Structure 1
Amino acid sequence: MEKTLPIWTLYQSPKDYPGQYVARRFEVTPVGGPRLTDEVYANKDVAAVRDWVQQEGRRFGVVPVKLERDPSDDPVVLESWI
């Protein structure tokens, strides 16, 4: 089984979820870059989305750490958790 590193990216009001905060999970493998999964969580409350990411991290056996957005990120990217 190939090991993967989960990364959750939080978005503020993306086109497919206007007016909501959204977390999408990506997977990084030793031989590939980030791959988008079909796991998505959306809520109007950013705190609820961050709580969900923390719970998901525990499911994967990690304690997610917040990374601030990079100025080159799409404007709807709020932050990432790795």
Structure 2
Amino acid sequence: MPDLGKSKRIWTFISFITFILFGLAALLHQYWINIFVIIFGLLIKYYGSNVLFTKGKERRKYLKQKLIEARVISIKKQK
């Protein structure tokens, strides 16, 4: 059985449920439901974003390296 924290399907499902809850809260004017939306959003941000957005993260890392090599941006050295 795969680790549920690393399953892209689980995090996609949670993201979809979060979006549905947000839409229902706005449609029904039951704004207290947004408490759950915030909780799910934070869970996705801190635990699911590495699983959901790996390609984008790798792409940003690649582009940053290319910009550093082209001297468009520089990295400040910490003391």
Classify the TM-score, shorter chain: under 0.3
Bigger Rg, which one: 2
Q: Is the strand fraction higher in 1 or 2?
A: 1
TM-score by length of 1: 0.24
TM-score by length of 2: 0.24
